[in-house]
């Protein structure tokens, strides 16, 4: 289980894929309790993983608006219809104007200043990069 991309994944994202809008599909599995680093003010708070991720969500939404991105769908996963495993807690789909917009956000100081909430809240995640269809 991992919550950060490998260097190879970042390099492929930068060089391959759609030149137009993309939708990033976030499959999220939360920790039972948030795991903040000791140097963060939230370290002493008894937050669930979902609560920590929601703090990230509030802050990242502000950044999304600045770069022309937006959440197009989000919801709780209720069951696994096909396949094995228990699935995910939540699914969030975010539309970005381009891969470059997404990568620029991910590399920005503003984004990296809030990313620790995401790390504290997630036990596991999958992030799928999709070409944006006409409905997005």
The pTM of the full predicted model, rounded to 2 decimals, is: 0.89
pLDDT at 135: 63
Residues in CB range of 8: below 8 A, 6 or more apart:
none
Residue 47 forms beta bridges with which residues?
none
Category of 7 on φ-ψ map: left (φ > 0), alpha (ψ -120 to 50) or beta: alpha
CA 132 to chain centre: 17
The pLDDT tens digits along the chain (136 residues) read 678 878 888 888 888 877 899 999 999 999 999 999 999 999 999 999 999 999 999 999 999 999 999 999 999 999 888 988 778 999 999 999 999 999 999 999 999 999 999 999 999 999 999 997 766 5
CA quadruple 37, 112, 62, 49: dihedral, nearest 10: -30
Where helices occur in 16-92 by DSSP H, the ranges are: 49-67
């Amino acid at each position: 289980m991992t919550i950060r991309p490998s260097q190879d994944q970042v390099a492929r994202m930068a060089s391959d894929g759609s030149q137009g809008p993309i939708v990033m599909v976030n499959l999220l599995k939360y920790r039972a309790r948030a795991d903040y680093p000791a140097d963060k003010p939230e370290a002493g708070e008894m937050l669930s993983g979902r609560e920590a991720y929601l703090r990230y969500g509030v802050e990242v939404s502000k950044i999304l608006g600045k770069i022309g991105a937006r959440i197009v769908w989000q919801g709780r996963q209720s069951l696994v219809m096909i396949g094995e495993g228990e699935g995910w807690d939540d699914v969030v789909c975010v539309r970005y104007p381009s891969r470059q917009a997404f990568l620029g956000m991910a590399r920005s100081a503003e984004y990296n200043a809030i990313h620790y909430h995401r790390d504290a809240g997630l036990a596991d995640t999958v992030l799928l990069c999709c070409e944006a269809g006409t409905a997005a």
